[in-house]
A = this chain, B = another copy of it.
Amino acid sequence: MARKPGSRSDITGPRIRAAARHLFARHGFAAVSMRQIAAEVGVQAGALYLYTPDKETMLVDLLRDHMDELIAAWDAAEPSADPVERLEAFVRFHIAFNLDHAEAVFLSYMELRNLGPENFAVIEGLRRDYENRLEAILRAGQDAGHFAVPDTKLATLAIIAMLNGVNTWYREGGRLGRAAIGDIYWDMARKAVAA
């Protein structure tokens, strides 16, 4: 046997990425073998190397694509210029996006330590880019007198950490729907930075 009927790289490629993302998120990067990923896709391990030079590159590509998508989605949202409304939009956006990309979010926070220094720096830089967008909102609101935070950078990190927490407990079909969760977290975030 060799090439399989119906095989096409633009089908197999995404399937490999999805399988890797799923398995890495579920069991951890180090605990998942190339053979397991291949089995999930239905190919032999050797075939993976048509799509990635090595295992670590597979991970860093997943992380970078996720961070790029996150930043692009927020930039595309283009909410109101008012800092308070912007903050509300950010809170709701962040929760919704993270719930829609739970596996990639999990990976982005858990598997950074499996990256070499240069790959680590790339992902860390993208994360900072995203954080800076929230920090700019807080600073603008502070300057306009709507917010009063003791430390802008810490408030940024505190809000993001708080919002990220949703992913650890949210289950589809649970007590609260996504809209209700957005309402609740917006209430807490708003008050936390209120003047």
Indicate with 1 or 0, residue by residue over A157-178, a CB within 8 angstroms of chain B CB atoms.
1111110110011000000100
How far is it, in angstroms, between the C-alpha of A26 and the C-alpha of B158 when the chains are bound? Answer: 23
Contact A114 B31 (CB under 8 A): yes
Contact B27 A113 (CB under 8 A): yes
Indicate with 1 or 0, residue by residue over A17-33, a CB within 8 angstroms of chain B CB atoms.
00000000011111100
Q: Which of B27, B29, B162, B169 contacts A162 (CB 8 A)?
A: B162
Indicate with 1 or 0, residue by residue over A180-195, a CB within 8 angstroms of chain B CB atoms.
0101110111011110
Quick one: closest B residue to A28, CB to CB? B30
With A150-B183, A158-B188, A161-B165 given, can you name 5 additional A-B contacts, CB distance below 8 Å? A27-B114, A154-B181, A191-B192, A191-B193, A191-B194
Quick one: closest B residue to A187, CB to CB? B150
How far is it, in angstroms, between the C-alpha of A81 and the C-alpha of B26 when the chains are bound? Answer: 42
Quick one: closest B residue to A27, CB to CB? B113
Contact B26 A28 (CB under 8 A): no
A28-B28, A31-B30, A192-B189 known; A157+B169 contact, CB < 8 A: yes
A73 within 8 A of B: no
A118 within 8 A of B: no
A151 within 8 A of B: yes
A149 within 8 A of B: yes
Quick one: closest B residue to A154, CB to CB? B184
Q: Which of B110, B155, B164, B181 contacts A110 (CB 8 A)?
A: B110
Contact A157 B165 (CB under 8 A): yes
Inter-chain contacts of A164 with B (CB < 8 A): 161, 165
Find residues 142-160 in chain A having any chain B CB closer than 8 Å to their own CB.
Answer: 149-151, 154-155, 157-160
